[in-house]
Structure 1
Amino acid sequence: MSWRFLIWSGVGITALLLIIGGIWLLSLPGEAARGTPAPIARDETDATIAALKPPKRQRPLIAIIGINDMSETTDYLMPYGILARADVADVLMVATRSGPVTLYPALKVEPHATIADFDARHPDGADYVIVPAMSRDDDPVALQWIRDQAAKGAIVIGVCVGATIVANAGLLDGKAATTHWYSVKDLKKHSAIRYVADRRFVVDKGVATTTGITASMPMALTLIEAIAGRDRAATVARDIGLASWDARHRSEAFRFTRPFALTAITNTLAFWTREQLGIALTPGLDEVSLALATDAWSRTYRSRAVTYAATAGAQPSRNGARILPDTTATDWPLQQSPPATALLPPAKALDETLRAIDFRYGARTADFVAMQLEYPR
């Protein structure tokens, strides 16, 4: 009798959960809005450039901070790679403590310095501090260092969900801001912050914020324009394969939809089909293209990007980042080797990676990844 009761109780609970899940799925929008983002007025663009002018040095000092246990891959590496290749500022990746920074969802890098080392070398602080998304948005050491840098006159830039870290540091109170579409509700919990839709990035009184992960690309180019002029930004834009970099955006195109939820559920449940895809680390590899490719493949819920090299030592990237391989190997099984998109210019690398994901797992998974990256396609 007791076993029958337990079995029927389990069946009843399962049925109830399925009903609740079905109702929840039906409550989600069928698809995100489509349409072309409205252009940005010239005076708004000029004001943004003016607000991002170097606050201290003629050749600015830029610090990108991460916590060692999981900072977001592309948030951390993309601003570094784009700004370093522009050669208009000194750019350093820093971490809250010594040791490598494990990035999420892929890659591991050696930072240039700890925040303590940075403070000892640069007691007057940075000109710009870039804050990526991190596994913790309340890390007390990171929050205090960001506050201290702002007090020394640094312009603070929150990339993607890094905006919530900047908010938790108290630097967005009374200001306009944006963030990744999935975290807008978290940002709105701060009643003193005015959320701005339909902008890839927003600058207000010494603090900048961006939308999703890929928004650090136009943000970095805008920062280059503020430091060194439009011609220099245009040169870098051509180098990375981006035609334009203003703040235009259509927020309604990025939201939690029924296809998004179904793809996440379906791909997660099909755990037996999950793959480890090997990407070779070679000296001089473009760190931005690598970050975009590994980030995208690791967000399918069907695969995880794994880096390998012939030795266990860190491999220097194109612009001096030191990337540690996940494993030591000289090759990888062909059927688990994605196309070598990390060898392409960054924007092209992401587009080709999404096409490869479409070919391997289907269009819905490619759209699912693009939505997570908040990448207009």
Structure 2
Amino acid sequence: MPATPPPGLRRRQLLASLSAPLFSACAPTLPPATAASSAEAPLRLPPPRAGRSRPLVAVLGENRYTELTDYVIPYGVLQASGVADVVALGTQAGPIRLFPALQLQAQASIAAFDARHPEGADLLVVPAVHHDDDPSLLAWVRAQAAKGATVLGVCDGVWVLARAGLLQGRQAVGHWYARDALARKFPDTRWVADRRYLADGPVITTTGVTASLPVSLALVQAMAGPAVAQPLAARLGLPDWSARHRSADFQLRARHLGAAAGNWLRLWDREQLGLALQPGLNELGLALLADAHARTWCSEVLGLAAGPVRSRGGLVFLPDRSGPEPGLQALNLAADQTPVAVLQAALARIRARHGAATAEFVALQLEYPGA
């Protein structure tokens, strides 16, 4: 679902969104998942490889444009669990530009990771990226899979997995907005409905953006059991991390198209929101807060700090501005709220500021069932 990525893409994305309903009648109808992939069945992971005592997790970003929540949530949840060694990678060394907002510093490049861990990761997390056909990205994902990694495609990260050939002959899910295009482009994959995440062998796929939360908890449970996952879920504000999902609840309607078009044309009333980046911030709440507010199509979220800022989980965020400026409205991250509460408060603010249709449009983009 279009967010607010590079400016040159926005008009094309708007036109695509407005025209999508014209073609939906011709789109394939997705079958339900098979009984073997029950929404209640826990994920299972193989034991760590290469003599490791706990899993090595690589979260892979493409430096030009990688989806914020898809990247930060799996990293933050798995890091907070304390049951895995997690590293935030870029295809190259240096900054990773996140969409629809913010940027951070890759902890290592894929080349540096290969030099340090030639045996590969136990789990590879692939978020949505704009350049999902990048040859070096696809080659590295294939190589990690060949070395024995379980590969997780979050949201439109499934495009990377499909282009890499990892979904051939498998069941998979994807973002609701992309699933018809996925079914047309990759007919040798069985695209299914009504699962928020789905494992088929060594490959796991998810629906849109916010599915990163429940699938990350499911991974924690697979690694360390419910005794670790349940208290972590309480800290996140997410008591249910099952794969239950109602795909039919996510449809782009006329009021959402109207809100998107109207917001895009509000050239005289566009928001610039300044989000102060504080040392030790909760990267989970930060990601959900910024992601939601940057998806109204009339708002821009800018990270504010005098220099690089390290989060609670060890991610280094890079500021867009050095501090408050005239015209910037303050966007505050509440330190005492769970990440899910942060998201719900963000949607409430969007509803109050921009109307119910815009809040629904944002929740649709995030494929968030709690709106």
Give TM class, smaller chain: 0.7 to 0.9
Aligned partner (choices 125, 128, 137) of residue 132 of structure 2: 137
Instruction: Say yes or no: does 1:232 pair with 2:225.
Output: no
Change in Cα spacing, 1:217 to 1:24, as seen in structure 2 (3 Å) is closer
Kindly provide the amino acid, as one letter, of the partner of residue 374 in structure 1: E
Kindly provide the amino acid, as one letter, of the partner of residue 359 in structure 2: A
Instruction: Say yes or no: does 1:151 pair with 2:151.
Output: no
Partner of 1:269: 265
Tell me which moved more, 217-226 or 260-269. 260-269
Partner of 1:319: 313
Kindly provide the amino acid, as one letter, of the partner of residue 108 in structure 1: Q
How far does residue 55 in structure 1 lie from its aligned partner after superposition? 4.9
State how far apart, in whole Å, the 1-side matches of 2:53 and 2:38 are: 24
How far does residue 317 in structure 1 lie from its aligned partner after superposition? 0.3
How far does residue 341 in structure 1 lie from its aligned partner after superposition? 4.0
Identity of aligned residues (%): 46
Kindly provide the amino acid, as one letter, of the partner of residue 219 in structure 2: L
How far does residue 49 in structure 1 lie from its aligned partner after superposition? 2.2
More helix per residue = 1
How far does residue 44 in structure 1 lie from its aligned partner after superposition? 3.2
State how far apart, in whole Å, the 1-side matches of 2:96 and 2:137 are: 14
State how far apart, in whole Å, the 1-side matches of 2:84 and 2:277 are: 26
Partner of 1:338: 331
Tell me which moved more, 181-190 or 132-141. 181-190
State how far apart, in whole Å, the 1-side matches of 2:47 and 2:353 are: 45
How far does residue 185 in structure 1 lie from its aligned partner after superposition? 2.0
State how far apart, in whole Å, the 1-side matches of 2:61 and 2:19 are: 36
3-state DSSP of counterpart to 1:203: strand
Residue-pair matches, total:
344
CA contact (8 A) 2:39 2:244 kept: no
How far does residue 186 in structure 1 lie from its aligned partner after superposition? 2.5
State how far apart, in whole Å, the 2-side matches of 1:123 and 1:372 are: 37
Kindly provide the amino acid, as one letter, of the partner of residue 358 in structure 1: R
State how far apart, in whole Å, the 1-side matches of 2:363 and 2:335 are: 17
3-state DSSP of counterpart to 2:205: strand
How far does residue 340 in structure 1 lie from its aligned partner after superposition? 3.3
Kindly provide the CA deviation profile for residues 183-236 of structure 1, in whole angstroms up to 9, marking residues without a partner as x: 102321211100110000010010000000000100000000000001101111
Partner of 1:359: 352
State how far apart, in whole Å, the 1-side matches of 2:300 and 2:177 are: 22
Partner of 1:181: 176
RMSD between superposed Cα atoms in Å: 2.4
Aligned partner (choices 121, 124, 140) of residue 119 of structure 2: 124
How far does residue 27 in structure 1 lie from its aligned partner after superposition? 5.9
Partner of 2:5: none
State how far apart, in whole Å, the 1-side matches of 2:116 and 2:20 are: 53
TM alignment of 1:1-377, pairs within 5 A = 44=38, 47-50=41-44, 52-56=45-49, 57-188=52-183, 189-309=185-305, 311=306, 313-329=307-323, 331=324, 336-341=329-334, 344-377=337-370
CA contact (8 A) 1:26 1:258 kept: no
CA contact (8 A) 1:63 1:94 kept: yes
3-state DSSP of counterpart to 2:288: helix
3-state DSSP of counterpart to 1:69: coil
How far does residue 136 in structure 1 lie from its aligned partner after superposition? 1.1
Kindly provide the CA deviation profile for residues 160-181 of structure 1, in whole angstroms up to 9, marking residues without a partner as x: 0000110000000000000001
How far does residue 47 in structure 1 lie from its aligned partner after superposition? 4.9
Which consecutive unaligned segments of at least 5 residues does structure 2 have? Answer: 1-14, 25-31
State how far apart, in whole Å, the 2-side matches of 1:83 and 1:192 are: 32
Change in Cα spacing, 1:342 to 1:41, as seen in structure 2 (3 Å) is farther
CA contact (8 A) 1:296 1:353 kept: yes
Kindly provide the amino acid, as one letter, of the partner of residue 231 in structure 2: T
3-state DSSP of counterpart to 1:271: coil
CA contact (8 A) 2:275 2:301 kept: yes
3-state DSSP of counterpart to 1:92: strand
State how far apart, in whole Å, the 1-side matches of 2:210 and 2:234 are: 17
3-state DSSP of counterpart to 1:182: coil
Kindly provide the amino acid, as one letter, of the partner of residue 140 in structure 2: W
Change in Cα spacing, 1:307 to 1:184, as seen in structure 2 (3 Å) is same
Which consecutive unaligned segments of at least 5 residues does structure 1 have? Answer: 1-19, 30-37
Partner of 1:33: none
Change in Cα spacing, 1:168 to 1:100, as seen in structure 2 (3 Å) is same
With the length of structure 2 as denominator, give the TM-score of the two structures. Answer: 0.87
Change in Cα spacing, 1:370 to 1:205, as seen in structure 2 (3 Å) is same
3-state DSSP of counterpart to 1:306: strand
3-state DSSP of counterpart to 1:102: strand
